[in-house]
Structure 1
């Protein structure tokens, strides 16, 4: 009875096209991560992370370093991302 009231729509099978899809944001993030400014922020984050992990009792977190690194990445990605979206 419910089949008569609610129509069922099936998506077309396009598996071949879906395999070729690539996320442009991830590609841009990967390329931006290789830039010197991003690598400098990543090194600061890793240094902080190593320092925090070496201590057994600390209130220090590396949030600021992580946010700075992500900000640099997002700024770099933001320049070109919307040009690549369809």
Structure 2
């Protein structure tokens, strides 16, 4: 899943700097226990795959599970934060 890249622009005095609410929510959601557990499973899979020279195993399922939980968490609050 590609993340949208937002250029960093310095705010003039008295102006707020723009903050990407999705990025903030992703960081917060990634710290929750269910997301952490799925990230750990993905990391274990990745380590296992990288330790082998010939394997057909991928960690696609683990990554999709992690991103699904992360996105579900983010979408609960994202639209409330958009201006």
**C-alpha contact 2:10 2:17 (8 A) present in aligned 1:** no
**Structure with more helix by fraction:** 1
Q: Map Cα deviations across residues 30-76 of structure 1 (whole Å, 9 max, x no partner).
A: 00000000000000000000000000000000000000000000000
Q: Aligned residue for 1:75?
A: 72
Structure 1 counterpart SS, 2:53: coil
Structure 1 counterpart SS, 2:11: helix
Q: Aligned residue for 2:59?
A: 62
Q: Aligned residue for 2:5?
A: none
- Length, aligned pairs only: 73
List gaps (5 residues or longer) in structure 2: 1-8
List gaps (5 residues or longer) in structure 1: 1-13
TM-score, length basis structure 1: 0.79
TM-score, length basis structure 2: 0.82
Larger Rg over CA atoms = 1
